[in-house]
A and B are shown apart, each in its own frame.
Chain A
Amino acid sequence: MFLPVEKKKPQPIEVKQSDSPIIGRWQNIGNWQFRSLCFAIGTTAANFARPNPQYFWLYVVGIAIGSLSLMLVPPSDLKYQGLWRTAGAALLMGALVTWWDLLMMLQWWHFAGFGVGAVFTLFAIGSGGNRR
C-alpha cells in the first residue's frame, strides 16, 4: 500500500461496438434452436434405448453424462454459460419425456426417496466442502 507504485498512463478510452437488437434477436433464435436440438437429441437417444435393452444403460449413462457435462462444464464465455446449462436440462427433459408411459408408473415414495436422497447428497457435499 505504501510502496511506491508506478503510475500507469491513462489508456485512451476504447469505444466498443454494442450488439444491435437485430443481432440480439438472431442470437435468441439461435439459443432456442440449440436447446431444441439438445432436447431432440435426448428424445432420440431415449427412443433408440427402448427397443435395445442390451444397450439400455449405455444410453442412460450417455444421456446422464451428456446432460451433466453441459450443465456442469459450461464454456468460459459468460454469455453462453446459461445457454449450456439450460441445454443440458433440455437434453435430460427430452429423454425423460420420451418415457412418459414408464413415468406414469412412479409412486409417491419414488419422489420422496429422490427428495431425501437429494438432501443427503447436498449435506454430504456441504460437509466435504468444509473440511480443512
Chain B
Amino acid sequence: MLSRVASHLYWMARYLERAENMARILDVGQLLALVSRGEDSEATAIEPLVITDTLEDFDATGRARTPAEVACYLAWDALHASSIFNCLHGSRENARAVRADITTEMWEDINNTWLQLLQKRHQDHQPADNAFFEWVKERSHLFRGITFSTIRRDQPYHFIRLGTFIERADNTARILSVKQSTLGTGRTGNEITDYYRLSAVLRSVSAFEAYRDTYREGVEELRVAELLIVDPTLPRSLRFCFDQIVRALALLPGATAKPARRLAATMLANLQFADIEEIYSQGYRAFLERFLAETAQLGQALHEAYLEPK
C-alpha cells in the first residue's frame, strides 16, 4: 500500500476524531459555565483553550475571554488549525485524496458532512451551541459506523484505527491533565463545584454511566482517573486506546515499524499493569505529561515507519 494513501487515511481519521473531541470539550464547557460564577468563570471559559494548548493564539486574536467567544473560536476560526471547521475540512480533503481506497458510502458521508458544514457557515450566525456540537458528534459516529460496516479489514482499515485511537488517547490525556491542574491536588472546598467539574470530565468522554456502573458511589477524583486511564473496557480510556493501537500495528507490515511497535507495546504494558494509587503517589501530573510526550513520539514513529518513510 502506498505510504501517501496510508497517511491520508490516518489523518482523515485523526481530524475527524479531533473535531468530535473538540465538540465534546466545548459542549461540556458550556454546561459548566452555567454553574460557575465569580473568579471561577473566566478559568472555566478558557479551559477548552488550555486543554488544546491554544490560549496564546486565542488571546492574540483580541477576542474576549468569554465562553461564547471561546466556543466560536474553537468551532469556526479559519486561522485556527484545529478548529472544528478546519478539522472537518482536513478530514474531508484527506478522504477526497483517497476516494478509490475507501468505500463509496464512506466518501459520500464525509462529503455530506462537509457540505452541511458549509451551509451552517453561511448562516448569519455561525452556531456554536449544544445542537451544533451534537451534530458534530453525530456525524463522527455515523462515519465510524459506516466505516465499521463497509470497509474491508485490510491495511486501510488498520490505518484508520491507528489515527482514531492515537488522537483519542491524546485527547483523553489532555482533558485529565488540565482538569487535574484546575482541581489542584486538594479540593476547591466546594463539594458541588467539584461534583460538576468531575462529572463534566466524565461526560466529555461519554463515561458518566460507565462510572456509575463501575463504582456505584459518589464521583471521586481518584476513581475518575482510574476509569479513564486503566479501565480496559471504556472506549475512550487510555488503556483501551492502546489495546487498539497495538492490535492494529500487529496487523500491519512490520519491516519498518520496529520502533513504533516497541514503543506502543511498552506504553500498553505500563497501562495494563498500572495502579492508580501508585500513579498518584508518584506524581499524577508527571505521569500524564510523560504519556502525552510518548504518544507524540509514537505518532512520529508511525510517520517514519509508514506514512513518510525516508
Interaction A to B: no
Residues of B near any A CB (own CB < 8 A):
none
Binding site for B on A (CB under 8 A): none
